[in-house]
Amino acid sequence: GAGVSQTPSNKVTEKGKYVELRCDPISGHTALYWYRQSLGQGPEFLIYFQGTGAADDSGLPNDRFFAVRPEGSVSTLKIQRTERGDSAVYLCASSKTSGDTYEQYFGPGTRLTVT
């Protein structure tokens, strides 16, 4: 079956521009997570959705970052006024439901480069 997909796979943008990163979770998975991975580091949590609502957005670095999941399936991570420090791989994961024992299935990530 289809896994988690993310588009685009690569995105290059200029400093100050707006970008949207899309995540298609596994069908039927109610929980969705966004992580950001900088070079040489492990992924860092950004935000987690249970259904349509953001259950925890404590990892979003500032108010330039926002994410939505309007129908409880596809999610979009939105970054306004991008900065060079936003360059990273953005990973999306989904799981059947939320819980600390459920496997999070990851997409391949979107590599964002801000020039």
Binding interface with another protein (CB under 8 A): 3-4, 31, 33, 35, 40-45, 48, 55-56, 58-59, 91, 95, 98-109
Closest approach of Cβ 34 to another protein, in Å?
10
CA distances in angstroms from 96 to 23, 28, 49, 70, 107, listed in the order given: 15, 7, 12, 18, 15
Closest approach of Cβ 67 to another protein, in Å?
14
Question: Would you say 20 or 44 has its CB closer to another protein?
Answer: 44
**Spatial distance between the Cα atoms of 27 and 11, rounded to a whole number of angstroms:** 25
Question: Would you say 38 or 80 has its CB closer to another protein?
Answer: 38
Half-sphere exposure of 28 (CA within 13 A, CB side): 4
Closest approach of Cβ 51 to another protein, in Å?
14
Cis-peptide, bond into residue 43, ω within 30° of zero = no
